[in-house]
Structure 1
């Protein structure tokens, strides 16, 4: 089991690149951090629409796979309190990734010059 292709918004892609630069990590790890942040900070189903006029970026297949995929899948199901099929899981993952990136962008923007995001991301 692994994630399917997902289309991240242009703003989400910019935030993902910023996250990867600040934490000095690669994009797959950044996607996982954003997904975890989105699930951790959500209160139920995410209803936000993350569309913008910028070009979308495709999150490739198999970035989140095996045990990680199963863990995130069950965390999403637990958060939403409803059974989901594979297409709904993929769509929900994208929404939680976008939501997590939105929170990460706010956190990075609110950093003072003395703070390090590597410490903030743990909260």
Structure 2
């Protein structure tokens, strides 16, 4: 079990790159962190994901036990039974959402704060 290919918006990809650089982590870990942060966020703002060109998140980045955990968190957050396509769409939504939440947290930190503590 693993994620399928997902198309991240151009804005999301640019923000993801800046997050990876700010936190000094690999892009794969930034994606997982964004998914977790998106799931944890209660922010109900709409996200514009229409910017192009889209960036392809390869399949298999989130796999095995991690995928199973995120899958069940997505289902729990939805509060209803979801098919595989809906789970993948919601994962992409939460990744996009988490990227923006982390970016906003990093943008609002003061110069003395450690970026890694700010996103907690």
Q: TM-score, length-normalised on structure 2? A: 0.93
**Alpha-carbon distance in 2 for matches of 1:116, 1:49:** 27
Q: Deviations over 1:76-103 (max 9, x none)?
A: 1111101111111100000000010111
Unpaired runs of 5+ residues, structure 2, are none
Structure-2 residue corresponding to 1:11: 11
Matches within 5 A, 1:32-47: 32-42=32-42
**Alpha-carbon distance in 2 for matches of 1:10, 1:115:** 28
Structure-1 residue corresponding to 2:49: 51
Instruction: Say what the alpha-carbon RMSD is for the aligned residues.
Output: 1.5
Q: How many residues align?
A: 120
Structure-1 residue corresponding to 2:27: 27
User: Is the contact made by 1:50 and 1:98 (CA closer than 8 Å) also made in structure 2?
Assistant: no
Q: Deviations over 1:3-46 (max 9, x none)?
A: 00000011110111011101111111000000000001137xx6
**Alpha-carbon distance in 2 for matches of 1:51, 1:98:** 8
Unpaired runs of 5+ residues, structure 1, are none
Change (3 A) 1:41 1:49: closer
Q: TM-score, length-normalised on structure 1? A: 0.91
